[in-house]
A and B are shown apart, each in its own frame.
Chain A
Amino acid sequence: MNIEEKIRENLKEKIIDGYRYSQRRYYFSVKSSDIVEVARFLFNELNLRFSTATAVDTPKGIEILYHFSFDKTGEIFSIKVLIEDKKNPQIDSLTSVFPAVEWIEREIWELFGVSFLGHPNLKHLLLHEDWPKDKHPLRKHND
């Protein structure tokens, strides 16, 4: 059973949508409240390596993609979550699952204004400490 089938089998109730974009690239959508459980399963059970997370500001809300890499086959599984509340976006932090996510969550927090609940050290990483609180440089300004 390959990793894609394992994900589809074990996370049946949680996956909203899933597709294969190209040979080694898979995308799955899950609910934002399920992300900690999903990440724990991928990291601990399937032994995937966390590559990085990407936040995208879309008209529907802020989308976060967690990219997991399976190094035996070179596949990347991107887990998409959508945070619909753009005024006050919130999601659970993954720092309890693996510490490597700490910096990228701080970065998304300062560039997109997403609060990560349970993050131990949510402060500025890249920008100046006096950066205005309501200004998030990577948010689109057309809405």
Chain B
Amino acid sequence: MSHKVIIPIGPYHPLQEEPEFFRLYIEGERVIDIDIVIGYNHRGIEELSEHKHFDQVAYLVERICGICSTSHPFAYVNAIEDLAHIQVPERALYIRTIIAEMERIHSHLLWLGLAGHFIGYNTVWMWAWRYREPILDCFEMITGNRNHYAMMKPGGVRRDILEEHISPLKKTLDELNKATDMFYGAVVDDPVIKARLKGIGILTKEQARNWCVVGPTARASGIDIDVRRDDPYGAYDRVDFNVIVEKEGDIFAKTLVRIKELYESIRIIRQCLDKMPKGEIETKIKEIPAGEGIGRVEAPRGECFHYVRSDGTNRPIRHKIRAPSYMNVASNKIAAVGGTISDAAITLAAVDPCYCCTERCSVIRKKDNQKLLTGWDLIKLSQEKTEKLKKEMGL
């Protein structure tokens, strides 16, 4: 008869770069329940937003999260444009789309690297992040900063994409396409990765619907949703792309969805660069009338939702932000329960959690007679399992 053990992970645990706290209840090797404690990242951005005027809010919401730092301002400007019925110049829409897709590429590569690390494939981590760098260089070239691009503003964009930016960007995309081929081969054909990720952390379609998950997490469970296609914003209705859907709902499917989306993002950027018309990049906005607006964006992690209400002054009276991870992290509760502890690290990471977004905001708590395993041990366990599998397969 095995006894119940509680494993706290976090809030400060190595390499998951944000503070979060999971309490895993273990019986033998099985995870029987999980407690998710968040709030280590809460900065009160919704309230701060009510004290800033409409132009400043774009900068504030950018600082919700560094990885999706264009999705939030994008959703916010969509909300403002919905509120005030503003028409945005064509060229600005294309520029917004290019920036958003570049962000998706960098975010997916980042996740791929971290996922590789969690299962003990540090090579994947290093390679994925190495190919992320050229994208960050392109960001620096176009926007002036590697992260926090400050491109979005209500009515348009702040900077233009110049003629001399286009050929380096295209060159980077070509290289990236080759790199994606490599990743696809490395992940899909690798027997060890398959053995580690197939059938692990399954979220069925029914569960996915009940927990209202979004983005790659939902698409890997067979739910065909993508805000880019369903509720087109930016220039997404003017370009051709596929929505990647997998049925299995396990971590392997989530990985596949993300890698295949890299190809789609590259395709979208190429089309945008070719189709982008010349002209203005912003419309001048005189005033924001009273009203309410909803803006949505398909962030790398899923649907990002902003609701803005204005009473005709120069500040929003309410600004609600719902980041994609808010729905996805809660679903961890089902995905991790029933699995083994060595799979917990990758399962918890599989939704690509982003706590900064979730909370718009580590010390390990030790209670009496609780066995203590740190997050580090958990990653080690996970890495050991990969080694064991490798040996069994004779690799």
Q: Which residues from chain A sit less than 8 Å from chain B, CB to CB?
A: 21-22, 24-25, 27, 49-52, 54, 56-57, 65, 67, 69, 71-76, 78, 98-100, 102-104, 111, 124-128, 137-138
Contacts and interface: CB of A to CB of B under 8 A. Distances in A.
Given A74-B227, A99-B211, A100-B210, A25 B307 contact: no
7 contacts: A67-B294, A72-B230, A76-B231, A103-B326, A126-B39, A126-B361, A127-B39
> Which 9 interchain pairs have the tightest Cβ spacing?
A74-B231, A52-B322, A100-B212, A54-B320, A126-B42, A74-B230, A126-B39, A56-B318, A71-B225
Given A52-B322, A56-B318, A138 B294 contact: no
A51 B212 contact: yes
A67 B361 contact: no
Interface string B205-228: 000011110000000000011010
A59 to B, nearest CB: 11
A125 B39 contact: yes
A74 B296 CA distance: 10
Interface in B30-50: 38-39, 42, 44, 46-47
Contacts of B327: 100
A98 B307 contact: no
A51 B322 contact: yes
A54 B307 contact: yes
Given A75-B231, A100-B212, A125-B39, 17 more contacts: A21-B292, A25-B294, A51-B212, A51-B303, A56-B317, A69-B296, A72-B230, A74-B230, A74-B231, A98-B210, A100-B211, A100-B327, A102-B330, A126-B38, A127-B39, A137-B44, A137-B47
A119 B231 CA distance: 32
A73 B209 CA distance: 18
B46 A52 contact: no
B82 interface: yes
A94 B117 CA distance: 39
A51 B298 CA distance: 13
B94 interface: no
Contacts of B320: 52, 54
A80 to B, nearest CB: 10
A128 B291 CA distance: 34
B85 interface: yes
B352 interface: no
A27 B82 CA distance: 14
Nearest to A70: B230
B155 to A, nearest CB: 16
Contacts, number: 83
A74 B232 contact: yes
A130 to B, nearest CB: 12
Interface string B300-327: 0001010101000000011010100011
Contacts of A100: 210-212, 327, 330
Chain B interface mostly: mixed
Given A21-B291, A74-B231, A65 B46 contact: no
A75 B230 CA distance: 8
A52 B320 CA distance: 9
Given A25-B82, A52-B305, A125 B38 contact: yes
B20 interface: no
A10 B292 CA distance: 26
Q: Which of A57, A71, A72, A98 has the most CB of B within 10 A?
A: A71
B62 interface: no
Contact of B225 (A49, A67, A124): A49
B121 to A, nearest CB: 32
A125 B39 CA distance: 6
A138 B319 CA distance: 11
A7 to B, nearest CB: 17
Q: Which of B225, B231, B305 has the most CB of A within 10 A?
A: B231
A21 B84 CA distance: 10
A69 B209 CA distance: 12
Contact of B39 (A49, A71, A73, A124): A124
Nearest to B44: A137
B359 A126 contact: yes
Nearest to A97: B210
B230 A99 contact: no
Contacts of B296: 69, 76
A98 B318 contact: no
B210 A138 contact: no
A72 B11 CA distance: 39
Contacts of A24: 231
A124 B256 CA distance: 36
Contacts of B294: 25, 67, 76, 78
A77 to B, nearest CB: 10
A112 B303 CA distance: 25
A138 B316 CA distance: 13
A65 B211 contact: no
B212 A98 contact: yes
Nearest to B37: A125
